[in-house]
Amino acid sequence: MDGANSRDRELRQRAEAVIPGGMYGHQAVGLLPDDYPQFFEKGEGAHIWDADGRRYLDFMCAYGPNLFGYANPQIDAAYVRQLGLGDTLTGPTALMVEMAEAMVGMVSHAAWAMFCKNGTDATSMALTIARAHTRKKTVIRAKGAYHGAAAWCTPRPTGVIETDRAHQIFCDYNDVASLEEAVRQAGDDLACIFAAPFKHDAFIDQAEPDLAYARRVREICDQTGALLIVDDVRAGLRLARDCSWSKIGVQPDLSSWGKCIANGHPISALLGAEKARKAAAAIYVTGSFWYQAAPMAAGLETLRLVRDTDYLERITALGERLRGGLAERSKAAGFALRQTGPVTMPLFLFDDDPDLRKGFCFSSEMLARGVYVHPWHNMFLCAAMTEADIDGALDAAEGAFGVLKRNVRDLAPVEKLAFLSAGAR
């Protein structure tokens, strides 16, 4: 293994000198098994190559953005074509109108769209619009739910001060009683309720939205005038060709989008219902690159593929094949593997694995077999995956379960995840 990751090691050393901590944010591998590479060099279809040239079937899909395959020829051609015409200009192009029309045409609750760069831009705009619309301050959101990394919502609040988080009340996702208690606490000051489309917190089992909970959120917003915000940045387009909660018949007032709406090209969006339009027009938000034309060209091509192909049915079938196959193979090896969340955004956790030592061993063995899985964050399927890819991943899993079975009694504790067993999360 020594020479095999020499380029990654060299890059980490250089990064240590010029990047704080060597790397930051969600793509830092500090909380992954030690053999996970930090640096990559290539992506094509469903595969990535690390800096040492090793190829993996990638179940992270860039943490979501890759929906139609890395370096998708049609989508990237649209980007490059527009780049030659004009990208970041002194004003927007017609593509901004077309992209807004396309998203409004696709998402049932939406009457308008605003584009930005980060998912966090979209959720932060949603919060500001809700406060402008209601002239109230309090936001209710679920404990542990990720809605971005600005001061008001970042999961690790170092450098964040108390006032950044003022007027926020937390409830438990899917727990109507705790929701109602939060609403009671908000009194007559409720501006909005945030909801992930399903519970996709890190480190724990995922959970589908409970219909009673979703309906109660809608009802409370209707009664109080607060806005219901579905944060579809992570899950958007992997559950539905519409807002993810359209599947359970609950329409939000605002929905945030990003990640894969241009298949990895940088654009995010906030969509809104008619009643929030005036407030949306009244706030001041902007960014140097928000009106870039090339990501919108790529987005239009992505949305065309969303409309015109069976990508959703295909990734769903692939996800079911993966889930069924893993259930079979884990059972055969004698492991209780909990597979939670939608099949297109799976998370695997082992029973009796408080510091994830089983998960780390399994993931490392998958990696060694050319399959990149994540031990504690939900994964993502993409339309470039094939049945043969899934079957290959299942073969890898069979091997990984075998190694795990032989070594399970001697696995070392995962020091870096000791906080999990300590109940820190």
CA angle 231, 234, 237 (to 5 degrees): 95
Dist. CA 126–CA 270, nearest whole Å: 7
**Is there binding between residue 31 and a copy of itself (CB under 8 A)?**
no
φ/ψ of 114, rounded to 5, equals -130, 140
Q: What is the footprint of a copy of itself within residues 164-193 (CB under 8 A)?
A: 164, 166-167
- Contact between 121 and a copy of itself by CB under 8 A: the answer reads yes
Rule CB under 8 A: is residue 197 a binding residue for a copy of itself?
A: no
3-state secondary structure of 69: coil
Please tell me whether residue 18 binds a copy of itself under the rule CB under 8 A. yes
Q: How many CB atoms lie within 10 A of CB 315?
A: 24
Tell me: does residue 416 bind a copy of itself (CB under 8 A): no
Decide if residue 384 touches a copy of itself (CB under 8 A). no
Stretch that binds a copy of itself, among 127-135, 211-219, 245-253, 391-399 (CB under 8 A): 127-135
DSSP character at residue 158 = T
- Tell which residue, 44, 65, 68, has the closest CA to residue 56: 44
**Is 194 an interacting residue with respect to a copy of itself (CB under 8 A)?**
no
Nearer to a copy of itself, 164 or 398 (CB): 164
Residue closer to a copy of itself, measured from CB, 34 or 288: 288
Q: Which is nearer to a copy of itself, 24 or 219 (CB)?
A: 24
Both tokens of 67, joined, read 């929906």
Which residue lies nearer to a copy of itself by CB, 100 or 400? Answer: 100
Give the three-class secondary structure for 190: strand
Considering only 46, 67, 78, 100, the residue that binds a copy of itself (CB under 8 A) is 100
Q: At closest approach, how far in Å is the CB of 110 from a copy of itself?
A: 9
Place of tokens 């001061």: 151
By CB under 8 A, is residue 137 in contact with a copy of itself? yes
Task: Rule CB under 8 A: say whether 72 interacts with a copy of itself.
Answer: no
Query: With binding defined as CB under 8 A, does residue 154 bind a copy of itself?
Result: yes
Q: Which is nearer to a copy of itself, 66 or 344 (CB)?
A: 66
| Residues in contact with 79: Cβ distance below 8 Å, sequence separation at least 6, in sequence order | 265, 294, 295, 297, 298
Q: H or E segment at 56? A: strand 55-58
Would you give the binding string for a copy of itself spanning residues 276-305, x where CB under 8 A is met? -xxxxxxxxxxxxxxxx--x----------
Q: Which of residues 306-335 bind a copy of itself (CB under 8 A)?
A: none
Residue 70 interacting with a copy of itself (CB under 8 A): yes
Pick 79 or 401: Cβ nearer a copy of itself: 79
Binding mask 228-257 for a copy of itself (x = CB under 8 A): -----x------------------------
- 348 touches a copy of itself by CB under 8 A: no
DSSP 8-class letter at 234: T
Report if residue 425 touches a copy of itself, rule: CB under 8 A. no
User: How many CA atoms lie less than 13 Å away from 214 in the CB half-sphere?
Assistant: 19
Contact status: 150 vs a copy of itself (CB under 8 A): yes
Angle 68-74-75 from CA coordinates, rounded to 5°: 60
How far apart are the C-alpha atoms of 257 and 102, rounded to whole Å?
A: 13
123 binds a copy of itself (CB under 8 A): no
Phi, psi of 228 (to 5 degrees): -95, 120
Do 239 and 190 form a contact (C-beta atoms < 8 A)?
no
How far is the C-alpha of 74 from the C-alpha of 418, rounded, in Å? 45
Q: Residues with Cβ < 8 Å from 262, sequence gap 6 or more?
A: 75, 295, 296, 298, 299, 302
Pair of tokens at residue 406: 């032989």
Per rule CB under 8 A, is residue 155 in the interface with a copy of itself? yes
Q: Which of residues 364-383 bind a copy of itself (CB under 8 A)?
A: 372
Number of chain positions touching a copy of itself (CB under 8 A): 117
Binding segment for a copy of itself among 24-32, 216-224, 347-355, 358-366 (CB under 8 A)? 24-32
Residues 348/339, Cβ–Cβ less than 8 Å: yes
Q: Considering the complex, what minimum distance in angstroms separates the CB of residue 340 from a copy of itself? A: 21
